[in-house]
């Protein structure tokens, strides 16, 4: 497992929705670690207070029987730029609305990802989002840039890319006020290895991505404290049999969590299966979604860039109006679970990659699992892995109907 960062206590505010039942029972239960069932969880005051297999005892109160459904922890997305028509960099109200849109789709824990911009702009965006982290609406903020390779910038404005200067690193850590959860950088940039050490010492998870680093430089960054791979294989130097590059170094090191975007667009199914197999319990599903998630086709913002979505694929709009690089995704994490299963990944592994694995990677001990003491976040899946219901902080944000009586 990748090393976890120290957990930062956060105030939590339960969403306003229909009251939860005392007990949820389902034919299949994934607790974040493994798939089993039938089983049940008992809830009180927004927490899981007991779990068990078979039929639940009556001592915990009324039972909400979900029948043939699959009950799993609420999904954890550690790389999310927006959703429901809202971009997280647009401010607190937009980030709150984006988190709510993802919650209705089954992602009950969201880390807000900011794309490359000027350092002053990023500092202002961090300042706007940290109150949502303190409130528990967001689980933290992820800076995806500006310390990225111009050779693999993807949907990041090249003019704002830069090497990490110590004063900029220190400023953004300070502005993050303990809620800067992750930073993606390219370790081959001047000063980057020093920045890795500084960020890791500050309790920030350092992710390697948007990089042209060699295998050797990537290894040095891991040794300096980097512990994540940002959307492996996308926007990075490709693997070559004599020059393995960053992906091989990241995959082979047991200290590193491995993000992938599994939406049927970013990776071939064979690549998905291989990464899932090689990463094992370190494998993490992320949406990398932008504002268009859940909205259909159209034009949407992504930081300072314009993005056009056509047939569900988001691409940067160039100066000439033509579609350019892929710009994140329009996926949700629950949709990524379905896509992973379609690609041939075992359901057990896909669910773990959407729940316990990302929670562990960012040091979030009370989410990602169904166990006594965890936050009462859960997703109810139907036979086709459609989302039937979502429980967030112990209340329904999408109510699941009980099984029909015989």
Check the CA dihedral 328-331-336-341 and report its sign: negative
Contact 230, 184 (CB under 8 A): yes
Cα(251)–Cα(344) distance, rounded to whole angstroms?
Answer: 20
Check the CA dihedral 143-145-148-151 and report its sign: positive
For residue 62, give the H/E element and its range: none
Contact 314, 307 (CB under 8 A): yes
Q: Is 288 a catalytic residue?
A: yes
Reduce the secondary structure of 104-116 to three states and give it as a string: HCCEEEEEEEEEC
Backbone angles phi, psi at 52, to 5 degrees: -170, 170
The single residue of 288, 360, 366, 377 carrying the catalytic annotation is 288
Cα(140)–Cα(321) distance, rounded to whole angstroms?
Answer: 34
Contact 367, 354 (CB under 8 A): no
Contact 403, 66 (CB under 8 A): yes
Cα(221)–Cα(239) distance, rounded to whole angstroms?
Answer: 18
Residue 8 CB neighbours (<10 A): 17
Q: Is 281 left (phi over 0), alpha (psi -120 to 50) or beta?
A: alpha
Q: Which residues contact 235 (CB under 8 A, 6 or more apart)?
A: 152, 153, 154, 209, 210
Q: Long-range contact list for 337-344, CB < 8 A, 24+ apart?
A: 337/75, 337/285, 337/385, 338/384, 338/385, 339/262, 339/263, 339/264, 340/262, 340/272, 340/276, 340/285, 341/385, 342/264, 342/269, 343/262, 343/269, 343/272, 343/273, 344/269, 344/272, 344/273
Active centre residues (catalytic): 288
């Amino acid at each position: 497992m990748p090393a976890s960062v120290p957990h930062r206590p956060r105030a939590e505010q339960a969403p306003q929705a229909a009251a939860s039942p005392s007990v949820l029972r389902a034919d299949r239960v994934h607790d974040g670690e493994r798939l089993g069932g039938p089983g049940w969880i008992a809830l009180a005051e927004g927490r899981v207070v007991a779990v068990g297999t078979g039929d639940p005892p009556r001592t915990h109160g009324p039972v909400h029987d979900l029948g043939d459904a699959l009950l799993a922890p609420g999904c954890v997305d550690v790389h999310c730029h927006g959703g429901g028509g809202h971009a997280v960099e647009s401010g607190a109200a937009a980030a709150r609305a984006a988190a709510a849109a993802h919650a209705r789709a089954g992602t009950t824990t969201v880390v807000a990802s900011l794309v490359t911009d000027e350092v002053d702009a990023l500092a202002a965006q961090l300042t706007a989002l940290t109150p949502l982290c303190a409130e528990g609406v967001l689980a933290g903020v992820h800076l995806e840039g500006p310390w990225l390779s111009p050779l693999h910038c993807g949907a990041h404005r090249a003019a704002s890319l830069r090497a990490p200067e110590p004063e900029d690193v220190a400023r953004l850590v300070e502005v993050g006020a303990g809620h800067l959860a992750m930073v993606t950088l390219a370790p081959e940039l001047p000063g980057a290895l020093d920045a890795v050490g500084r960020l890791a010492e500050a309790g920030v998870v350092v992710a390697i991505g948007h990089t042209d680093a060699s295998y050797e430089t990537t290894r040095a960054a891991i040794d300096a404290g980097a512990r994540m791979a940002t959307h492996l294989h996308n926007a990075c130097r490709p693997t070559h049999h004599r020059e393995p590059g960053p992906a091989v170094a990241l995959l082979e090191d047991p200290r590193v969590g491995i993000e992938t975007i599994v939406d049927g667009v970013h990776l071939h199914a064979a690549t998905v299966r291989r990464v899932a197999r090689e990463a094992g319990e370190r494998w993490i599903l992320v949406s990398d979604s932008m504002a268009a998630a859940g909205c259909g086709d159209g034009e949407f913002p992504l930081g300072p860039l314009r993005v056009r979505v056509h047939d569900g694929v988001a691409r940067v709009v160039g100066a000439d109006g033509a579609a350019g690089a892929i710009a994140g995704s329009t996926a949700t994490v629950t949709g990524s679970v379905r896509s992973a299963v379609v690609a041939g990944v075992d359901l057990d592994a896909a669910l773990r990659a959407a729940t316990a694995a990302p929670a562990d990677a960012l040091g979030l001990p009370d989410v990602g699992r169904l166990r006594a003491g965890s936050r009462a976040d859960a997703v109810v899946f139907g036979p086709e892995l459609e989302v039937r219901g979502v429980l967030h902080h112990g209340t329904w944000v999408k109510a699941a109907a009980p099984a029909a009586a015989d």
